[in-house]
């Protein structure tokens, strides 16, 4: 059963009047919506957009060594890596592919990579009529790096948001390593 206060509120439409007052008070304030795509909000630091394979500054090739850690971590299982060996038994990354439409942009691949070889760029405006456009080959991923992350931007990206990296894990001074044992003989 309604109390007297609730009854009065009902018959005088108090809640409706409150709502209308709120609407009226907002009529003369600045709009908080943006006229996208004319007005764009800059991507926040660490934004997880389209993938890119990091290009090594010295060699101009991908930094990826084909260890497959990123693929093992990926919860969507949408990273495919195909490798082979050269004459010196060095691993070559023949194909590195990501099915972007299956990605959930969790960033685990970036975190898992011990070489800082894969990144998520700030680019989020991509659309197409075919699924093929979202199947990123190694070449496409490298070109994403050139387009969206080359230079200072790419360097800052890993230093700022993705630590620890392999360089943070130096070999302790007293730890025996194969090379040291060899030299000692
Ligand atoms: S962001 Fe997550 S889901 Fe997407 S490719 Fe990387 S690990 Fe897989
Ligand atoms: S991107 Fe990194 S984790 Fe993935 S295969 Fe290449 S080196 Fe390994």
Per-residue pLDDT tens for 128-141? 999 999 999 999 99
Atom 6 of ligand 1 has which residue's CA nearest to it? 109
Domain range summary for the chain, segments of one domain joined by +:
51-167
Q: Is the pLDDT of residue 45 over 70?
A: yes
Does ligand 1 lie within 6 Å of residue 112's CB atom? Answer: no
Q: CA 36, CA 13: separation in Å to the nearest integer?
A: 38
Q: How far is the CA of 72 from the centre of ligand 2 (A)?
A: 10
Q: What is the 3-state secondary structure (H, E, C) of the chain?
A: CCCHHHHHHHHCCHHHHHHHHHHHHHHCCCCCCCCCCCCCCCCCCCCCCCEEECECCCCCCECCCCCCHHHHHCCCCCEEEEEEECCCCCEEEEEEEEEHHHCCCCCHHHHHCCCCCEEECCCCCCCCCCHHHHEECHHHHHHHHHHHCCCHHHHHHHHHHCCCCHHHCCCCCCCCCHHHHHHHC
Counting ligand 1 atoms within 8 A of each CB, the residue from 52, 104, 117, 120 with the most, and so the one to mutate, is 104
How high does pLDDT run on average in the chain? 87
Percent of the chain with pLDDT over 70: 89
Q: Which of 8-12, 164-168, 174-178 has the highest mean pLDDT?
A: 8-12
Residue 53 pLDDT > 90: yes
Rounded mean pLDDT of 115-125? 92
- Per-residue pLDDT tens over the stretch 59-95: 999 999 999 999 999 999 999 999 999 998 889 999 9
Position 165 scores a pLDDT of: 61
**Binding site membership of 112 for ligand 2 (Cβ less than 6 Å):** yes
pLDDT given at position 183: 54
CATH placement of domain 51-167: 3.30.70.3270
Atom of ligand 2 nearest to the CA of 67: 8
Using pLDDT thresholds of 50, 70 and 90, give the confidence band for residue 167.
low
Residue 40, pLDDT > 80, answer yes
Query: Ligand 2 centroid to 56 CA: how many Å?
Result: 13
Q: Which two tokens stand for residue 151?
A: 């230079």
Q: Ligand 2: which of 81, 141, 142 to mutate, judged by most atoms within 8 Å of the beta carbon? A: 81
């Amino acid at each position: 059963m309604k109390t007297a206060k609730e009854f009065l509120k009902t018959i005088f439409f108090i809640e409706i009047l409150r709502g209308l007052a709120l609407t009226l008070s907002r009529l003369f304030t600045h709009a908080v919506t943006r006229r996208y795509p004319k007005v764009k909000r800059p991507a926040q630091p660490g934004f997880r957009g389209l993938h890119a394979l990091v290009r090594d500054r010295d060699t101009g090739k991908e930094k990826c060594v084909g260890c497959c850690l990123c693929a093992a971590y990926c919860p969507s299982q949408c990273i495919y890596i195909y490798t082979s060996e050269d004459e010196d038994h060095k691993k070559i990354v023949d194909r590195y592919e990501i099915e972007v439409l299956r990605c959930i942009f969790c960033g685990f691949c970036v975190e898992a990579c011990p070489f800082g070889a894969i990144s998520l760029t700030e680019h989020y405006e991509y659309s197409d009529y075919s699924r093929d456009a979202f199947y990123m080959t190694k070449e496409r991923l490298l070109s994403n790096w050139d387009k969206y992350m080359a230079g200072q931007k790419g360097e800052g990206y890993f230093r700022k948001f993705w630590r620890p990296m392999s360089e943070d894990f130096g070999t302790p001074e007293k730890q025996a390593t194969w090379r040291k044992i060899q030299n000692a003989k």
